[in-house]
Structure 1
Amino acid sequence: MSELTLRARSFVRRVDAATPAHRDRAVDALRALAILGVVLGHWFVTALVPGGDGALRTASPLGDLPWLAPVSWLFQTLAVFFLVGGQVATVSYGAARARGETYGRWLRARLGRLFRPVAAVLALWTAAAAGMLLAGVPFTTVHTLTKLALSPLWFLLVFAALTAATPLVARLNPLWPLAVVLHVDLVRFGFDGPAWTGWVNVAAGWLVPYTLGAAWARGELTRRSARVLLAGGALAAAALVVGAGYPASMVGVPGAPVSNLNPPTLAAVAFGLAQCGLALLLRDRLAAWMRRPAAWAAVAVVNLSAMTVFLWHQTALMAVTALGLTAGPLPGLHTAPDSLTWVAARAAWLPVFVLALGVCWAAFRTYEQGGRRARRGASRVAASGTPRTVRPVRHG
Structure 2
Amino acid sequence: MRSLRARWSAVADRVEAGTPADRDRSVDALRALAILGVVLGHWLVTAMTSSEGSLATTSPLTRMPWLAPVSWVFQTLAVFFFVGGLVAARGHASAREQGVPYGAWVGRRLARLFRPVAAVLALWTVAAAGMLLGGAAWDTVQALVRLVLSPLWFLLVFAVLTAATPPAVRLHPVWPAAVVAAVDVWRFGLGGPEWVGWVNVAAGWLVPYTLGAAWARGRLDRRGPALALLAGGAAATAVLVVWGGYPASMVGVPGAAVSNLNPPTSAAVAFGLAQCGLALLLRQPLARAMARPRVWAAVALLNLSAMTVFLWHQTAMMVVTALGLTSPVDLPGLHTAPDSALWIPARLLWLPVFAAVLAVCLAAFHAYERGGRGGPGRNDSATASARSVGGIRPVGTARRQGASRV
TM range (shorter): over 0.9
Provide the rounded CA distance (Å) in 2 between the counterparts of 1:155 and 1:325: 30
Cα 1:48–1:17 shift into 2, 3 Å: same
Mapped contact 2:8–2:294 kept (Cα < 8 A): no
TM-superposed CA distance for 1:325, in Å, is 0.7
1:137 shift after superposition: 0.8
| 1:386 shift after superposition | 5.1
Query: Structure 2 regions of 5+ residues with no counterpart?
Result: 374-382, 391-397
CA distance in 2, matches of 1:377, 1:130: 40
Establish whether residue 208 from structure 1 lines up as the match of residue 198 from structure 2.
no
Q: Normalising by structure 2, what TM-score?
A: 0.92
**Segment of structure 1 superposing worse, 203-212 or 8-17:** 8-17
Aligned to 1:394: none
Cα deviation, 1:202-254, whole Å, max 9, x if unaligned, reads 00000000000000000011211111110111111111111011111000011
2:239 aligns with 239
Residues 7 and 385 (structure 1 numbering): CA distance in 2 closer, same or farther, change over 3 Å? Answer: closer
1:89-128 Cα deviation digits (max 9, x unpaired) = 0000111111111101111111111111100000011111
- Name the residue aligned to 1:333: 334
Higher mean displacement: 228-237 or 375-384: 375-384
Structure 2 partner of 1:118: 117
Q: Which amino acid in 1 is paired with 2:24?
A: D
> How big is the shift at 1:291?
1.1
Q: Does 1:192 align with 2:191?
A: yes
1:377 Cα offset (Å): 5.6
* Aligned partners of 1:20 and 1:383 also within 8 Å: no
Q: Secondary structure at the match of 1:286?
A: helix
Partner of 1:97: 96
Displaced runs of 4 or more, over 4 A: 372-375, 377-382, 384-387
Counterpart for residue 392 of structure 1:
none
- Overall identity of the aligned pairs, in %: 68
Q: Deviations over 1:156-179 (max 9, x none)?
A: 000010000001111210000000
1:212 and 1:383 map into 2 onto residues whose CA distance is 29
Which residue matches 1:355? 356
Distance 2:322 2:15 in 1: 38
- Kept in 1: contact 2:223–2:281 (CA 8 A): yes
**C-alpha distance in 1 between matches for 2:134 and 2:388:** 40
By how many angstroms is 1:16 displaced? 0.5
Shift of 1:3: 3.6
CA distance in 1, matches of 2:208, 2:402: 27
Q: Give the distance between the partners of 1:378 and 1:28, measured in 2 at CA.
A: 16
Report the number of matched residues.
Answer: 386
Structure 2: which amino acid aligns with 1:317? Answer: M
- Give yes or no for contact 1:46–1:60 (8 Å, CA) kept in 2: yes
Query: Which residue in 1 is equivalent to 2:283?
Result: 283
TM-aligned CA deviation for residue 383 of structure 1: 3.5
Q: Distance in 2 between matches of 1:149 and 1:140?
A: 14
Question: Judging changes above 3 Å, is the alpha-carbon distance between structure 1 residues 315 and 377 closer, same or farther for their aligned structure 2 residues?
Answer: farther
**RMSD across aligned positions (CA):** 1.6
Pairing 1:79–2:78 present = yes
Equivalent of residue 376 in structure 1, options 387, 401, 404? 387
**2:56 match: secondary structure:** strand
Aligned residue number for residue 248 of structure 2: 248
Once the two structures are superposed, residues 249-306 of structure 1 have per-residue CA deviations (whole angstroms, 9 ceiling, x without a partner) of: 0000111111110000110110000000000111111112111111110000000000
Q: Do 1:321 and 1:333's aligned partners in 2 also have CA atoms closer than 8 Å?
A: yes
TM-score, normalised with respect to structure 1 = 0.94
In the alignment, the residues of structure 2 paired with residue 375 and residue 115 of structure 1 have an alpha-carbon distance, to the nearest angstrom, of 19
SS in 2 for 1:56: strand
> What's the counterpart of residue 297 of structure 2?
297
8 Å CA contact 1:11–1:375 kept in 2: the answer is no
Tell me by how many angstroms 1:136 deviates: 1.3
Relative distance call for 1:149 and 1:260 in structure 2 (3 A) is: same
